[in-house]
Amino acid sequence: MRPWDLARAERGGDVTAGRRLDSAITALLTACRVLSTEPTPFLPTLATKISAQCVTLTGQLSRPQPLFPRL
Protein backbone atom coordinates (compact mmCIF):
# COMPACT_ATOMS: atom_id res chain seq x y z
CA MET A 1 0.00 0.00 0.00
CA ARG A 2 1.18 3.52 -0.71
CA PRO A 3 2.30 5.60 2.31
CA TRP A 4 -0.21 8.37 1.60
CA ASP A 5 -3.02 5.79 1.61
CA LEU A 6 -1.76 4.49 4.95
CA ALA A 7 -1.69 8.04 6.33
CA ARG A 8 -5.26 8.62 5.16
CA ALA A 9 -6.39 5.34 6.76
CA GLU A 10 -4.57 6.23 9.99
CA ARG A 11 -6.36 9.59 10.13
CA GLY A 12 -9.57 7.62 9.73
CA GLY A 13 -8.74 5.64 12.88
CA ASP A 14 -7.08 2.52 11.45
CA VAL A 15 -4.44 1.60 14.04
CA THR A 16 -2.93 -1.12 11.85
CA ALA A 17 -2.42 1.36 9.02
CA GLY A 18 -0.65 3.67 11.48
CA ARG A 19 1.76 0.91 12.44
CA ARG A 20 2.41 0.05 8.80
CA LEU A 21 2.99 3.72 8.03
CA ASP A 22 5.48 3.98 10.90
CA SER A 23 7.34 0.95 9.51
CA ALA A 24 7.37 2.38 5.98
CA ILE A 25 8.69 5.76 7.13
CA THR A 26 11.32 4.09 9.31
CA ALA A 27 12.49 2.00 6.34
CA LEU A 28 12.67 5.06 4.08
CA LEU A 29 14.63 7.11 6.62
CA THR A 30 16.98 4.19 7.26
CA ALA A 31 17.61 3.91 3.52
CA CYS A 32 18.26 7.65 3.37
CA ARG A 33 20.74 7.38 6.24
CA VAL A 34 22.58 4.50 4.56
CA LEU A 35 22.64 6.35 1.23
CA SER A 36 24.10 9.38 2.96
CA THR A 37 26.92 7.49 4.68
CA GLU A 38 28.02 4.76 2.26
CA PRO A 39 29.31 7.01 -0.56
CA THR A 40 31.27 9.25 1.84
CA PRO A 41 34.74 7.82 0.99
CA PHE A 42 34.13 8.20 -2.74
CA LEU A 43 31.68 11.10 -3.07
CA PRO A 44 31.84 13.19 0.13
CA THR A 45 29.94 16.12 -1.36
CA LEU A 46 27.12 13.86 -2.51
CA ALA A 47 26.90 12.22 0.90
CA THR A 48 26.64 15.64 2.56
CA LYS A 49 23.88 16.72 0.16
CA ILE A 50 21.87 13.56 0.79
CA SER A 51 22.29 13.89 4.53
CA ALA A 52 21.17 17.53 4.49
CA GLN A 53 17.99 16.58 2.65
CA CYS A 54 17.14 13.72 5.01
CA VAL A 55 17.64 15.53 8.32
CA THR A 56 14.62 17.15 9.89
CA LEU A 57 14.45 18.99 13.17
CA THR A 58 10.92 20.28 12.67
CA GLY A 59 9.26 17.06 11.53
CA GLN A 60 8.99 18.42 7.98
CA LEU A 61 11.44 17.58 5.22
CA SER A 62 12.77 20.49 3.23
CA ARG A 63 12.06 20.84 -0.47
CA PRO A 64 14.31 18.36 -2.34
CA GLN A 65 17.17 19.70 -4.40
CA PRO A 66 18.87 17.95 -7.35
CA LEU A 67 21.91 15.94 -6.30
CA PHE A 68 23.58 16.20 -9.70
CA PRO A 69 23.46 19.20 -12.03
CA ARG A 70 22.00 18.68 -15.47
CA LEU A 71 24.52 18.24 -18.22
pLDDT in tens, 14-46: 999 999 999 998 898 888 888 888 988 998 888
Q: Of the candidates 23, 21, 29, which has an alpha carbon nearest to the alpha carbon of residue 2?
A: 21
Residue 65 lies in a domain: no
pLDDT for 64 beyond 90:
no
Whether 59 is covered by a domain: the verdict is: no
Residue 11 within any structural domain of the chain? yes
Distance (Å, whole) CA 12 – CA 28: 23
- Residue span of the structural domain in which 36 resides: 3-54
pTM of the complete model: 0.66
Number of structural domains the chain divides into: 1
In a domain, 50, yes or no: yes
Taking residues 46-68, what's their average pLDDT? 82
Asked if pLDDT for residue 51 goes beyond 80, the answer is yes
User: Does some domain include residue 64?
Assistant: no
Range in 3-12, 52-61, 62-71 with the lowest mean pLDDT: 52-61
Tell me the H-state helices in 1-71: 3-11, 15-37, 44-54
Q: What is residue 70's three-state secondary structure?
A: coil
